[in-house]
Amino acid sequence: MLTIFKRIATDPDLEWKFIYGSMIKTHQHSSGASFAAKSAMEKSITGNSRKIHMAFDSFGLPIENNKWTSSRLLI
């Protein structure tokens, strides 16, 4: 067991994945009331707001969702 901890201490894996979520408040006219098409900023129970999700790596670079990196854990 001690050899495992020594190996981890000498060669740590510092590669992490982070998921960030932020709520933003939008203006009352952002829901597109005058347009027939649906807008991304819809009225919800809490008002005019939208949640933004972002997945990024340990260097702060965004993780792109493509056929090589797509995973249910990242979505």
Residue 2, in any domain of the structure: no
Euclidean distance between CA atoms 55 and 41, whole angstroms: 21
- Whether 9 shows a pLDDT value over 70: the answer reads no
Residue 75, in any domain of the structure: yes
Phi, psi of 4 (to 5 degrees): -65, -45
The strand pairing partners of 23, in sequence order, are 51
The strand pairing partners of 22, in sequence order, are 52
CB 49 within 8 A of CB 26: yes
For 19-72, what is each residue's pLDDT tens digit? 777 776 766 666 555 555 555 555 556 566 666 677 777 777 777 665 555 555
> Which of 52, 55, 54, 53 is closest to 17 using CA atoms?
55
What is the extent of the structural domain holding 24?
14-75
How many structural domains is the chain composed of? 1
Residue 5, in any domain of the structure: no
Euclidean distance between CA atoms 75 and 70, whole angstroms: 8
Q: What's the pTM value of the predicted model, to 2 decimals?
A: 0.35
For 10-19, what is each residue's pLDDT tens digit? 765 666 777 7
